Chain A
Amino acid sequence: KAGVTQTPRYLIKTRGQQVTLSCSPISGHRSVSWYQQTPGQGLQFLFEYFSETQRNKGNFPGRFSGRQFSNSRSEMNVSTLELGDSALYLCASSLQTASNEKLFFGSGTQLSVL
């Protein structure tokens, strides 16, 4: 069974641009969540989607948004990029949204904002 797939693997953008990252969960998984990883802030929760509905949202500005499609694939979008948005963006999937479930992570998209 294929794991969580994130594309692209690397992205370079300039300030003010926008970017869309894609995540394909493990087959059969209906929950997708996104995390931002930076050396200074560590791993921070962005949002979670289940059955095309946002279930949870972290403390990020409105420039960060996401969505989930009927096939459970998810995208996150960052508009008006800032230098501080440079980070590794990780997507994770699970079967449901139960608190005792483990998450399966993708390898991430490394975003560099110049």
Chain B
Amino acid sequence: AQSVAQPEDQVKVAEGNPLTVKCTYSVSGNPYLFWYVQYPNRGLQFLLKYITGDNLVKGSYGFEAEFNKSQTSFHLKKPSALVSDSALYFCAVRGGNQGGKLIFGQGTELSVKP
């Protein structure tokens, strides 16, 4: 069965510092991995995805993610956090012929303080 784990419910960083939001996955076959962000009272917005190829994926708003097959991880990173990055972040996985069915992690609340 496919699953995603986000081990941290909350991550706090100071503005200007680098941030990392962790994600590990379990899927049979090649994984398709995604990061989405949710702002209060809004739907989810796509940040980036890993399908195949380079292990470092660049996405929207300066975010990037590193795919590590041996550690089955897909951590989200940003070199310099902004206060406006404060939001709820979801890692998701899709495997095989799953179409639109995404399996989401529980979410990590990112808080960036000035």
Contact = CB atoms under 8 A, between A and B. Distances in A.
Interface in B100-114: 100-107
Interface residues of A, number: 29
A3 B104 CA distance: 22
A101 B51 CA distance: 9
B23 to A, nearest CB: 13
Nearest to B104: A43
A48 B46 contact: no
A55 B41 CA distance: 29
A45 B102 contact: yes
A102 B97 contact: no
Nearest to B52: A100
B43 A105 contact: yes
Contacts of A105: 36, 43-45
Given A90-B43, A105-B45, A107-B41, A45 B103 contact: yes
Interface of B: 32, 34, 36, 41-46, 49, 51, 90, 94-107
Interface of A: 4, 31-33, 35, 42-45, 48, 50, 55-56, 58, 90, 92, 94, 97-108
